[in-house]
């Protein structure tokens, strides 16, 4: 696969690269990340390979991430229209201001205008609501997003990290009012976070929403730098800087061991193996490639050079299986399917006979 093997996003005609460049690490304002010069190196390497999909947010590194992108495209305006720039509104940038963040009309319009200023552009290709705002009716949020589209400030809209029921309601509101629909949904998905498989991913598929997945390496946990030998203690690593005190579980160590073993067998990097697993799942997602250094980006980009063997993918899937959710444990349980199908096969699902099903001669009241 190449970064130029473009795919359409969700139910739209927007063409994007199969891997998106995440830029949360652009800027050092949070105590870690890349200085502007190195961030530009990462950006240009991604673009050199044909990548056209960038992801940022108003609050990343206190707005510096957007500024770095804005400075680059401000100096290279002829490159801007060739890129699909995604950013997010929600994060409160003004301490003490109750309307400084969130998804009400005032907050979203202001956040979008500020992002446009930092990005030095007059439109945003894909505008996300970063999180669910429980204080704002979703009708108001969708009205505000549609207003931004109507004004020409935003081309497409999306949600991130929002409950399935809220997202479904929002998409139905958009359809009923003939407003701009949700084009994408961004969620964490990796070998350490698979609970989204029960509701979030099926919801996105049903509603025609493209899936973009953040942190395919579980905040760097599956990058290969953290091992049993160093017990997660890597100077400068995010586990010791941003996520101090995080304990690596035995299940996670087993996954790390397997990633390293597969990488050696395939002549690639553990991070490439972890990203390839995410990409190979039925979700058909677009993983975010986040990199603080050009070296990290090159390690991640090795995912373009190999295919994960099916047996290796199956082993990683089995090792990382999360506990069943209520949906999986009760509603989609073997008992429920047997109650529904009574031993028949439907759409490839074969059930056992349900012992309580009436026989052909039994009385049915």
Closest C-alpha among 275, 261, 284 to residue 304? 275
**60 catalytically annotated:** yes
Find the mean pLDDT for residues 167-172: 98
Which of the following is catalytic: 6, 19, 46, 60?
60
Task: Give helix 138-150 / helix 164-177 axis angle, nearest 10°.
Answer: 50
Confidence at residue 103, expressed as pLDDT on a 0 to 100 scale:
96
Confidence at residue 34, expressed as pLDDT on a 0 to 100 scale:
94
| Residues 138 and 92: beta-carbon distance below 8 Å | no
Confidence grade of residue 163 (pLDDT, cut at 50, 70, 90): very high
What tokens appear for 98 in the block?
A: 């109750």
In which element (H, E) is residue 341 found? helix 334-341
pTM of the shown model: 0.90
d(C-alpha 283, C-alpha 70), whole Å: 32
Pairing of strands 124-129, 53-55: unpaired
- Tell me where in the chain the CATH 3.20.20.100 domain(s) lie: 7-310
CB atoms within 10 A of CB 48: 9
What tokens appear for 30 in the block?
A: 């949070």
CATH number of 7-310: 3.20.20.100
Instruction: Give CA separation, 273 vs 35, 141, 303, in Å.
Output: 28, 38, 7
d(C-alpha 164, C-alpha 154), whole Å: 24
The answer to whether residue 241 scores a pLDDT higher than 70 is no
């Amino acid at each position: 696969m190449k970064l130029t093997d473009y795919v359409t996003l969700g139910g739209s005609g927007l063409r994007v690269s199969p891997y998106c460049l995440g830029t949360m690490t652009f800027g050092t304002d949070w105590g870690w990340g890349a200085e502007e010069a190195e961030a530009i190196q990462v950006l240009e390497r991604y673009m050199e390979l044909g990548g056209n999909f960038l992801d940022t947010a108003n609050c990343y590194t206190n707005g510096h991430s957007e500024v770095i992108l804005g400075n680059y495209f401000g100096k290279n305006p002829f490159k801007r229209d060739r890129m699909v720039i995604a950013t997010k509104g929600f994060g409160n940038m003004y301490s003490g201001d109750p309307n400084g963040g969130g998804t009400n009309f005032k907050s979203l319009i202001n956040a979008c205008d500020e992002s446009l200023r930092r990005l030095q552009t007059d439109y945003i290709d894909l505008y996300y609501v970063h999180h669910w705002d429980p204080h704002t009716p979703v009708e108001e949020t969708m009205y505000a997003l549609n207003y931004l589209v109507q004004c020409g400030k935003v081309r497409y809209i999306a949600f991130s990290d929002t409950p399935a029921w809220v997202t479904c309601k929002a998409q139905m509101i958009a359809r009923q009012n003939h407003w701009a629909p949700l084009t994408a949904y961004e969620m964490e998905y990796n070998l350490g976070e698979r609970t989204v498989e029960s509701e979030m991913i099926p919801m996105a598929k049903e509603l025609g929403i493209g899936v973009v997945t953040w942190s395919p390496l579980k905040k760097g946990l599956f990058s290969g730098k953290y091992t049993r030998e160093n017990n997660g203690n890597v100077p400068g690593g995010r586990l010791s800087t941003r996520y101090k005190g995080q304990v690596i579980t035995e299940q996670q160590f087993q996954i790390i061991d397997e990633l390293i073993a597969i990488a050696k067998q395939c002549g690639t990097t553990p991070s490439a193996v972890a990203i390839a697993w995410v990409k190979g799942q039925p979700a058909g997602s677009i993983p975010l490639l986040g990199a603080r250094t050009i070296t990290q980006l090159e390690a991640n980009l090795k995912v373009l050079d190999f295919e994960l063997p099916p047996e290796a993918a199956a082993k990683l899937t089995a090792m990382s299986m999360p506990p069943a959710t209520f949906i999986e444990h009760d509603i989609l349980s073997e008992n429920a399917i047997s109650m529904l199908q009574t031993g028949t096969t439907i759409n490839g699902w074969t059930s056992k006979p349900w012992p309580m099903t009436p026989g052909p001669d039994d009385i049915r009241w």
